[in-house]
Amino acid sequence: MIYRNTPLIFVFILLPFCALKAQTKVIGECTLQYFIKQLNSDDTIGYKLVYVKGDQCKTTLQTSHLTQTLLFNVQQSTATITKDIGTSHFLQSVVYPPLSQPNLISMKEIASDTLVQILGYNCKSVELKWSDGVVYQIVYTTDIATTVNTFELAFKEVAGLVLSYTIIPVSGQAIQYRATKIDLSPISLSQFNINKDLYQIID
């Protein structure tokens, strides 16, 4: 009799976990916009756009000095980087994720007495420390997630969509990225095409 009831016990144990997982809505197509600033001086650096479509991802970093784009597919081992600096345009294929990635040393939740909301989503906070000394302070929501979350490799272990993150280097100023817009409209495949004739290819 005990053995017959054992599967039912496991079902009741698993049900709460299944319910928690079901609460996170996975988005297969969206555009995110992040505002970038230096945290200490409050100086504006620029903005970052993230396009996710299925297994594909494109990020574009726009500052007053350059435009840098990263395109990759999570099913492939390489990515393409383009850099536009004034009238100079460069293209490079790289291994992605890079082989020399630092290791994650610790990851801890940051408790808050107040409810944090970004773009209408309730958020949690977590701090990640890496073997190279860099610290990521991340604010994320578990309400939604994207099919590709590694537009920052540090986000791989985060169970939701990152809406704000601060990168604190060993030396230098901390940089904060904060989401200002989420667009769930369909994205054209042409967004992931590159006209290589416009770029100087570098090794």
We report the CATH number of the domain holding residue 141 as: 2.50.20.10
Instruction: Determine, yes or no, domain membership for 197.
Output: yes
Report the range of poorest mean pLDDT among 5-19, 55-69, 124-138, 175-189. Answer: 5-19
Instruction: Determine, yes or no, domain membership for 19.
Output: no
pTM: 0.85
Q: Tell me the residue range of the domain where 82 lies.
A: 25-201
Instruction: Determine, yes or no, domain membership for 1.
Output: no
Instruction: Determine, yes or no, domain membership for 9.
Output: no
Instruction: Determine, yes or no, domain membership for 176.
Output: yes
Q: How many domains does the chain have?
A: 1
Instruction: Determine, yes or no, domain membership for 7.
Output: no
Q: What contacts 148, CB < 8 A, 6 or more positions away?
A: 52, 55, 56, 57, 74
Instruction: Determine, yes or no, domain membership for 187.
Output: yes
Q: How far apart are CA 159 and CA 155, in angstroms?
A: 8
Partners of residue 88 on adjacent β-strands: 85
Is the model's pLDDT at 2 over the cut of 60? no
Instruction: Determine, yes or no, domain membership for 118.
Output: yes
Is the model's pLDDT at 162 over the cut of 90? yes
